[in-house]
Amino acid sequence: MLTRDLHTQVLPYLHLHDKVYQALQLMNESHVAHLPIVDGEKFAGLISEDDLLQVENDKVELKELQQSFSMSNVREDEHFLKAVKLAVENGFSVVPVVNEDNEITGIVTYADLLKQASEFMNINDPGGLLVLEMEAKNYSFNTISRIIESNDAQIKQLNTTTDPQTGQMQVTIKVDKPEISDIIATFQRYDYNVKYYLGEEMYENELRSNYDNLMNYLKI
């Protein structure tokens, strides 16, 4: 699913000429800790409640605080999991959605992203999730299915999206096996780019990666 397909809440935009106290009031009314700022139709940045509360004069215009703006956003033609990743890594309560001209087209809240992720991944069902990225011409359902089945797993759900500009395809796969490190290893052995994954042994995988990096460093 692309970010343009998300059912976003109707939230207000801030403007460069808005005052700090007005921005704080809108955040309070909307029950969010971040709001995007626009300059005309263009996305100008994302401001947080914490940054606004540090301003001594709450009648200052937002354009005076541009050093505090975050330029983080997602394109409307990107996979919605990128919005989830952006929100989690930065602690955002909302994520701005923009088009190719950097015009803001919507806002998606963290709560809505979590809800969508839960529905998308059938989170209540046991299993793991992988997102592969590849050239569209290299996509083969039979090959992907054969790799997964060779690791004693079955595909429960598969979705594909293609970026019309780059031709890169993202293949999101839900499998019935929660321990997916062997599946990931097989895909990587066949030169697949595993962009995201979610399984019960994720933390173990990260520890293994850190251990391997340390061992490689000590060999130098």
pLDDT at 220: 45
Residue 198 gets the label, from left (phi > 0), alpha (psi -120 to 50) or beta, of: beta
DSSP-derived secondary structure for 68-100:
G-B---EETTSBHHHHHHHHHHHT-SEEEEE-T
Comparison of pLDDT for 52 and 85, the residue scoring more: 52
Q: Is the pLDDT of residue 202 over 60?
A: no
Q: Is the pLDDT of residue 70 over 90?
A: yes
CB-based contact 198:121 (threshold 8 Å): yes
Q: Mean pLDDT throughout 107-132?
A: 80
125-183 confidence digits (pLDDT tens):
778 888 999 998 899 999 999 999 999 999 988 888 887 777 789 898 989 988 899 99
- What phi, psi does 11 have (nearest 5°)? -120, 150
Packing angle, helices 80-90 and 110-120, rounded to 10: 130
Packing angle, helices 181-189 and 141-149, rounded to 10: 130
Q: Which domains does the chain have, with CATH numbers?
A: 3-116 (3.10.580.10), 122-219 (3.30.70.260)
pTM: 0.59
Q: Is the pLDDT of residue 184 over 90?
A: yes
213 burial (CB, 10 Å; 0-12 / 13-18 / 19+) is: exposed
pLDDT at 128: 87
